[in-house]
Amino acid sequence: MASSVFIANCGHGGATALNVLSAALGEDLCTADTDVVFVDSSAELVPAIRRVSAGGAPAVVGWSFCSQDFECAAIELQVAREEQGEATVWHVAGGPHASADPDGTLRAGFDLCAIGEGEAILVELIAALQEGRDPKRVPGIASLNAGRVVTCAPPPARPLDELPAFNARCGRINPLEITRGCAYRCAFCQTPRLFPGRPRHRSVDNVRRNVAELRKMGVRYVRFVTPNALGYGTSGRACDLGALEELLAAVREASGPHTKIYLGTFPSEVRPDQVSSEALALLRRTVANRDLAIGVQSGSQRVLDRMRRGYSVEQARRAVECAIAAGFRPQVDLIFGYPGETPSERAETVALAEELGVLGVHIRGHSFMPLPGTELADAVAEPMDAGCAARLAQLESVGVLHGPWRRQGQGGKGLACEQVAAGCALDARAPEAGRGTASIVE
């Protein structure tokens, strides 16, 4: 069989994941000669499939998306299938949504789902296709068999040092994943369920080597992927500022004096209960960002307890005040409509947003969206009452509040899907964007 070509479809926010997956192909002897084609917009996908098919090679199209992008990806898949003709194509979905809901993803038309961490899965999948083996029997792959989802046991998790951090060979740069997994088990979050067990960290030496490689490539910024920016080097819920300082010192040494280092901004946010004057002083000395992303989530203590966030509203308030005093501008995430949230509890969160807005804080508003694989997968968001909606609109009008709270409140539908249907470009390569994580799970 002719060698397969991997088409990395980066149009749905999965650029970081697909960069790293394609790099894993190049580092394995069995798949090192696999051609890789990157697609950065919806309009590029079908032409790429046709070019690959014209060369006689079967194509594997890799998709990585979050739950809020699933509908858009499904629309694009339908268009691609209608227009790709008789080309031999395997459409393989990964990411948090596909991993948590393979049944719904496969029934949307994807041929295969990669469940969980994708580096080893993709290497074995490409090797199986090139050797004429059944791809549905690859560890970590889910498929439909007579209308029933069949999932092969996943391969064992590997240390992050064994996995590429970006795709240097193809010049594809992304934030460096320094931690995979999370010690917290917030009720609404997919991360601890996708990466069970203790968090795994990329070693300081490995990060140093990757940053040195970025410097050789002329990159003058470094961003990170981690679910907990102040939790580097720990196996549980404590902070180890010594480990974090060692990491940031190594990054500075390897990157040179003029490189900008970003930590504590998306996608490496901080928890309110880990914010301290010592931590902020360390960040102030070492990072370029003066915005600091803090996941507060609610102004109601009862809601925070149901979320299992593990801190108090007062701790969150102090964290914000401490960040301001240290010279940072907090970017605070708040969720509205959490299941079981009462109007009075929602009003507490709106009041917190108003209070913080007076201090110059930027609020990122979200409406609760149930995510597959979590204990709230079947939950329904509480509707936004007119009074709270009016107060949020006022905050929005003066520039205090931004974020997708309106679109998420409508089920996540809207402009993004319209763009996909129209074939509009969705650029995933901007160096400041920093989206996704370094695996098939974004």
Residues 6+ apart with CB under 8 A from 51: 37
Same domain? For 348 and 397 the reply is yes
What pTM, to 2 d.p., does this model score? Answer: 0.89
Same domain? For 107 and 209 the reply is no
- Those residues of the chain that have pLDDT short of 70 are 1-2, 410-442
Same domain? For 305 and 213 the reply is no
Same domain? For 24 and 83 the reply is yes
Of 279, 300, 326, which residue sits at a domain end? Answer: 279
Query: Which residue reads 């301290």 in tokens?
Result: 276
Please name the amino acid found at residue 400.
V
Same domain? For 10 and 146 the reply is yes
Same domain? For 144 and 174 the reply is no
Asked if residue 433 belongs to a domain, the reply is: no
**In the chain, how many domains are there?**
3
Same domain? For 145 and 185 the reply is no
Phi and psi based region of residue 87 (left: phi greater than 0; alpha: psi -120 to 50; beta: remaining): beta
Same domain? For 142 and 178 the reply is no
Q: How would you classify the pairing of strands 59-64 and 5-9?
A: parallel
pLDDT number for residue 427: 30
Asked if residue 432 belongs to a domain, the reply is: no
Structural contact between residues 367 and 381, judged by C-beta atoms closer than 8 angstroms: yes
For the chain, the residue count is 442
CATH of the domain at 99: 3.40.50.280
φ, ψ of residue 89 to 5 degrees: the values are -135, 135
Asked if residue 255 belongs to a domain, the reply is: yes
Same domain? For 340 and 378 the reply is yes
Q: Give residue-wise pLDDT tens across range 378-417.
A: 999 999 999 999 999 999 999 999 998 988 776 544 333 4
Structural contact between residues 58 and 111, judged by C-beta atoms closer than 8 angstroms: no
Of 231, 246, 279, which residue sits at a domain end? Answer: 279
Same domain? For 72 and 173 the reply is no
pLDDT number for residue 410: 64
Same domain? For 272 and 356 the reply is no
In whole angstroms, give the CA distance from residue 382 to residue 392.
Answer: 16
Asked if residue 416 belongs to a domain, the reply is: no
Query: Domain containing 25: what range?
Result: 5-116+118-151
148-151, strands of its sheet edge to edge: 35-39, 5-9, 59-64, 89-94, 112-114, 141-145, 148-151
Structural contact between residues 333 and 297, judged by C-beta atoms closer than 8 angstroms: yes
Same domain? For 136 and 185 the reply is no
